[in-house]
Each structure stands twice: as structure tokens, then as C-alpha cells.
Structure 1
Amino acid sequence: MKWYVLSFLFIILLLLPLPIKIKLSYCNNCLKFYIYKFEINLFKKKKKDEKKENIKRKKITSKMKLTVSDILLIIRNINKIKFKPILKLNILLNYGLADAAVTGIFYGIISYFISSLFNFLAVPLKIKKYKSAINPDFNNFKLEAKIESIIYISLAKIMYMGFIIIKSFIQIKALHKKKQ
């Protein structure tokens, strides 16, 4: 009887999407990163951790070199997946460059980069809600940004995407063998 209950709980955990709330805030030269309501400090590292990272970087070597066509194949295979993690994203940006002409030019550049970010995130994620607000201040010099997102991830979707990526690498390896 216990075995049935444990297997049922495991299947529910595997298929149930878990929401992960992420918030990134930049104001007054201070960058803050939150997962749920817990603040994570990104910039404090201990010297021991840096030494361990350097050792890990030296150990990792890649035998297979990826070309642009290989990366496009991986992106195409990920883009075809119907079962992707779901993303809800809100971006708020208040900025000013103290000159109206430069602020106006940067408004167009920032709008382009935010729409490119949407297209970039749409490959591995299914975007359900997307809202961006860019507020230029033509007279002052300031920068305030706030990004809030909720990602609904289930273990089954992660395993499926991992399987597709591994399958893509096997296809790439087979293509490289044919060329040689």
C-alpha cells in the first residue's frame, strides 16, 4: 500500500508545474535579485569559491566544436517542442539621459532590445503573459529597472527538453562523422 502512495506522489510531483517567482531590481546603483522573497547576493564571493571555480573551468574540455549550423539545429529542435515551461514576465524601465534627443534615440534602441529579448525567451519557454513599460525621463539622468517573472516548471518538461537536447547533440555528432 505504501508503494502505491509513494509512486502516486512521485507522478504528481513529476507532472505538477511548480511556480518559481524571480525578481530583479536595479535602483540607485544597487542590484537586487530575489527568488520568492529571499534576496540572493550575487556579488559576494569567497576566495575559496573562486579557486574551486578556476579548477572546474580548467577540467572541462570539449572535444566537439559547434558551428553556427549546429547551434541553429539545436534551437530549431527546442523551438519545435510543444511542452515548454511557462513564463509570465513584467519589465519596468525608467531611464533618463539628461538630453531629450539622446533619450529619444535610446528609447528606440531599448524597445528593440526588449522585443529581441521576448523573441529569445520564446525559444525555450512558452510566454503566456508579457508586459513591458519603458518610461523615458527627458530632463533627468537616472536608471531604474525592475523585472518580475514567474516560471512554471515541471520535472517532466525539464526531462523532455533535456532528452531533445541530447538527441540534437547525437544528430550533430552523426553529421560531423559523415563529413569526415
Structure 2
Amino acid sequence: MKTLLIIFFIILAILLLPIPLKITLSFSGKKAHIRIYNKEINITKRLKKKIKKASVKANDKIEEEVIHKDLVNPHNAKKIIRLLRKNKYKLSLKMKININYSLDDAAYTAFAYGLLHQLLSFVAASLSLFFNLKDFKSEIKPTYNKFYLNFEITSIIFINLAKVIYICIIIIYNLKFGSKKLKIPKVKYKEEAQNG
């Protein structure tokens, strides 16, 4: 009995307690990396490999299009976005963005500084529609008379499995049955049947 209770509380804790998932995306020069916890993935190398294997058979493409047709169409995409915006049980998110950049012209560098600030404000506002944005920090460091771009985005998503399951169920249900109305068959009573 004690073992069952322990297992029950462990499962309950996994479902209800938020699990922090740390993801870092960095770009420097021509190299892009993504790091999940301490595991680093070289995006640049993977993209080069995919480009080399880009010669896919036409039949495979047709099959893939048929399989993913319902999920990729714009109507379903809009529906999913609307559901995520209206969802009350949003996942929590913390984000930090560091941008180091420089343009050849000092005037362009100064103009880009203001533009980047506006862009980051828009990003924060957009994220708050889909996540419970707990913290959003940004730092922009311009350098003049050079030409480069380095940036790093660190995000911590607090994944609650119960919320994830709920969101998935809501999305799947609405995609499958959202546009369909339940048809109730008409039943004739004995008197109606006799009169008819």
C-alpha cells in the first residue's frame, strides 16, 4: 500500500510540478549553435548535411504532403494560434537576449539600435500572448565602424506535463471536431409513427 502511495505521489508531482527546460541559441559569425542544458548542437553542420541530402524522390514528397496537409494548412494554423492565445493554462517562460552588432556606417548602427529595441518590445508582447512571461531581459551592445553580428538567446520554459497534456487535447479535439456539429437522430414515437 505504501509503495502504491509513493508511486502515486511521484506521478502527481511529475504531472503538476513545473520542470525547467533551458535552451540557448547562439549565433556568431557564420556559425549557429543550440544548447539544451549542457548538450550542444551545431545547427550549421546539420543544415549543410540536409542540403546535401535534398534530392528526395517526388513520390516521397507527395506522400509527405498528403500526410501533413491537414496540419499545415493556414486555417488550422490560425485555429491553433487562437486556441493558444485563449488558453488559460499557459506555460511559464523566462528569456534573456544579448545582441552585439556593428555596421560599417555609424548612422546605420545608431538607427539599428532603436529598431532593435522596438523589435524586442514586439517580441516580448507577442510571447506574452502564448506564455506566462515571468521575466524578459534584453541587452544590445553596438560597436561602430565594424561589421559583425553576434547574438545569444537563453530561454527557460517551465514545462508542466498536466498543462501540456491539456493543451494537446484541446488542440487535437478542436482540429478534429471543432467544425463538426453533433448530429442527433430523430426518433419517432409510436403515436407519430401510427399517424404517419
TM over 0.5: yes
Query: Given residue 19 of structure 1, which amino acid in structure 2 is its aligned partner?
Result: P
Cα distance, 1:19 vs structure 2 = 0.5
Structure 2 gap segments, 5+ residues each: 182-196
Query: Given residue 156 of structure 1, which amino acid in structure 2 is its aligned partner?
Result: A
Q: TM-score, normalised to structure 1's length?
A: 0.79
Query: Given residue 22 of structure 1, which amino acid in structure 2 is its aligned partner?
Result: I
Q: What stretches of structure 1 move > 4 A for 4+ residues in a row? A: 53-57, 63-68, 70-73
Mapped to 2, the partners of 1:150 and 1:102 lie a distance apart of: 33
Mapped to 2, the partners of 1:57 and 1:26 lie a distance apart of: 34
1:1-180 map, 5 Å? 1=1, 2-45=3-46, 55=60, 58-59=63-64, 60-63=67-70, 66-67=73-74, 71-170=77-176, 172-174=178-180
Query: Given residue 92 of structure 1, which amino acid in structure 2 is its aligned partner?
Result: N
- String of CA shifts for 1:86-115, please: whole Å, max 9, x gaps: 111000101111201222232233233322
- String of CA shifts for 1:38-71, please: whole Å, max 9, x gaps: 1122344567xx58x9748833242588456x64
Mapped to 1, the partners of 2:141 and 2:83 lie a distance apart of: 37
Q: TM-score, normalised to structure 2's length?
A: 0.73
Structure 1 gap segments, 5+ residues each: 176-180
78-87 or 104-113: which moved more? Answer: 104-113
Aligned length: 172
With over 3 angstroms needed to count, the CA separation of the structure-2 counterparts of 1:57 and 1:115, relative to structure 1, is farther
Task: Check whether the contact 1:26–1:32 (CA below 8 A) recurs between aligned residues.
Answer: yes
SS at match of 1:173: coil
Task: Check whether the contact 1:78–1:164 (CA below 8 A) recurs between aligned residues.
Answer: no
> Relative CO higher for 1 or 2, CA cutoff 8 Å, sep ≥ 6?
1
The structure that has the greater radius of gyration is: 2
With over 3 angstroms needed to count, the CA separation of the structure-2 counterparts of 1:103 and 1:172, relative to structure 1, is farther
SS at match of 1:174: coil
- Give the percent of matched residue pairs that are identical in Structure 1 and Structure 2: 36
RMSD: 2.9
SS at match of 1:106: helix
Cα distance, 1:27 vs structure 2 = 2.0
SS at match of 1:91: strand
Mapped to 1, the partners of 2:61 and 2:147 lie a distance apart of: 42
Cα distance, 1:127 vs structure 2 = 0.6
- Number of the residue aligned with 2:185: none
Query: Given residue 119 of structure 1, which amino acid in structure 2 is its aligned partner?
Result: A
Cα distance, 1:167 vs structure 2 = 3.6
Cα distance, 1:14 vs structure 2 = 0.7
SS at match of 1:166: helix
